[in-house]
Chain A
Amino acid sequence: MERVMQTETKIRAESGIESGPRGPGCSLRNFACEQNLLSRPDGSASFLQGDTSVLAGVYGPAEVKVSKEIFNKATLEVTLRPKIGLPGVAEKSRERLIRNTCEAVVLGALHPRTSITVVLQVVSDAGSLLACCLNAACMALVDAGVPMRALFCGVTCALDSDGTLLLDPTAKQEKEARAVLTFALDSVERKLLMSTTKGLYSDAELQQCLAAAQAASQHVFRFYRESLQRRYSKS
């Protein structure tokens, strides 16, 4: 059932990007996604953004420990494991952010007294890690067939010292940036589900980054749609 489909989608903006007032062209890095690559989890996805790669596995809805049971909805658990060393506080805070995003989107009320576990493994980190984790988690939840009210995606913006806006920054760009902002947006109306920021920025810059992230999320959602279309296509 493997088709030889060389689908290369080149998405270009309408106007000249180089002449944008916000710097020499924001662009998202190469995206790649593979679903259902692990045999044990109910759903799995590997999401790559440039050199950043995250593997997500989802188990659910499954049995839940009585201590963690919620009577009217599903218990969502998120685990993020770094590649080197033991998980620390940074991982805990990222887990919480991802869990809050997923809880806003997953229809937990359809599966009360169950647990939905999302396990994320950082395969390589080259910038925009949290956004990549969010994207991988979304694709894995879709692969597992967990009911959701919308899809979500993560976009990272970086503001460097002269105020230039960069989307999907690499590790080097993140280190040299004055502020790094990550947003989780939903697919229905591109509303903000979660935002976490680090650094110094003005409120105007925040709104600009958010608007840029919304523009970028359109491409990410198109990528989701096309990759799922490819998977469920009959030709």
Chain B
Amino acid sequence: MKETPLSNCERRFLLRAIEEKKRLDGRQTYDYRNIKISFGTDYGCCIVELGKTRVLGQVSCELVSPKLNRATEGILFFNLELSQMAAPAFEPGRQSDLLVKLNRLLERCLRNSKCIDTESLCVVAGEKVWQIRVDLHLLNHDGNIIDAASIAAIVALCHFRRPDVSVQGDEVTLYTLEERDPVPLSIHHMPICVSFAFFQQGTYLLVDPNEREERVMDGLLVIAMNKHREICTIQSSGGIMLLKDQVLRCSKIAGVKVAEITELIQKALANDQKVRKEGGKFGFAESIANQRITAFRMEKAPIDTSDVEEKAEEIISEAEPPSEVVSKPVLWTPGTAQIGEGIENSWGDLEDSEKEAEDEGGSDEAIILDSIKMDTGEVSNIGSQDAPIVLSDSEEEEMIILEPDKNPKKIRTQTVSATQVKAPSKKPVKKRKKKRAAN
């Protein structure tokens, strides 16, 4: 679907409001929207909501052979997908620019910053390492995808537990989840992206732009930082020219924001761990807000299936027996058999050689039809066709005399049922090559 264009008055309104330090949702310039983190039942699954922008993250692992030039390191794979439900403009083939940009930024933020210890993912050097795969799905696009995605990625990685492995000499034992508790990944620090949107050639800036603000912005500056105030990645796009002190100021703001967000993440992770340890209920079902009228829950419902047997027997006894379908395969030569026939050839004018082939095919068909005793007048007609067909180059042979109410195209099938597809009156149309004899 095409994206609805932004009207000029909307654009002017947004820009004027920003000039007056006002935002549509009432936030201040440096305010983030509400961040909500919820976890699923399996480890490594989380949904992050940044205002209305929603991202689902899932981490999975697999034992693979390592890369040749990095024999002792595990492999990290990141994949962000812009789901079609996130915005009407996100069609499967159409979002490559934005997708590449976001994926690349995410990779730089998480992979190049070495936040995950890849050496610890090695099981047998040169042979078996863990491949950690992070899949992120954008579910709703209300601006600032990269921040939400980076939070979802790091939360999912911190939440994830991989199966325990033990190596004894040459033997590698992979324990299932029941045998041994799974082990968390070793994460050094948590890089989080903070986005700054610039308006009017860098005069005004906003933190955490929402979708409307993103549409009217001039450029975007993304700073990925961890709580130790180390910059992991910095990217400026849109062609805005920023001054040095602007960038420094943004990095200071980012430092403050990242500290707040990291605290929130750690609180959420600790909460989830506590609930799991105490044996309470966890998962997405618990995070559905019960008070909303748009949410509804039903407890486990037992179903009475004591009468299914009787019902089933009733239905089977009342059912008609299936109709007999007799398929008579015809063996042409060893290895070539034919069951049924196709629709009549509708190619029209044929070359001479093809005509000959067709005629032979036609005569063979005549034999088959005889055997199932089609009760039409054609039987006698066909009987007379067993004699060799006289080929002639006359154009008349191609003519089909179409009666107005007849259907020249029909399917010749071999079902022995009462329905007579071919009425005797269809005779003139049936075999156009045999028109001569028929008429």
Residues in chain A within 8 A of chain B (CB atoms)? 1-15, 17, 19-22, 25-41, 44, 46, 48, 50-51, 53, 55-57, 59, 62-63, 79, 81, 83-85, 115, 117, 119, 121, 123-124, 126, 165, 167, 203-205, 207-212, 215-216, 219, 223, 226-227, 230-231, 233
Contact = CB atoms under 8 A, between A and B. Distances in A.
Contacts of A31: 297-298, 301
A44 B303 CA distance: 28
B72 interface: no
Contacts of B308: 22, 165, 208-209, 211-212, 215
Interface of B: 1-2, 40-42, 45, 47, 52, 54, 56, 58, 60, 81, 83-88, 92, 133, 135, 137, 139-142, 283-285, 288, 290-309, 311-313, 315-316
Given A30-B285, A48-B288, A63-B2, A121 B58 contact: no
Given A4-B291, A79-B84, A39 B305 contact: no
Given A38-B85, A38-B139, A40-B87, A32 B301 contact: no
A32 B296 contact: yes
A55 B139 contact: yes
A63 to B, nearest CB: 6
B137 A83 contact: yes
B42 A124 contact: yes
A84 B60 contact: yes
Contacts of A40: 85-88, 140-142
Contacts of A14: 304
A205 B140 CA distance: 43
B288 A57 contact: no
Given A32-B285, A203-B316, A5 B303 contact: no
B41 A124 contact: yes
A117 B90 CA distance: 12
A167 to B, nearest CB: 6
A81 to B, nearest CB: 6
Contacts of A25: 302
A39 B288 CA distance: 16
Contact of A226 (B133, B141, B296, B307): B296
Contact of B305 (A44, A56, A207, A215): A215
Contact of B56 (A35, A83, A208): A83
Nearest to A13: B304
A9 B85 contact: no
Contacts of A17: 302-304
B100 to A, nearest CB: 16
B303 A207 contact: no
Given A30-B285, A32-B285, A204-B312, A12 B302 contact: yes
Given A48-B284, A211-B308, A233 B140 contact: no
Contact of B301 (A48, A207, A219): A219
6 A-B pairs with the lowest CB-CB distances in the bound complex, closest first: A57-B85, A227-B296, A207-B312, A13-B304, A119-B85, A27-B302
Contacts of A36: 294
Contact of A208 (B1, B40, B54, B309): B309
Given A20-B305, A40-B88, A30 B299 contact: yes
B145 to A, nearest CB: 12
Given A63-B1, A119-B85, A38 B298 contact: no
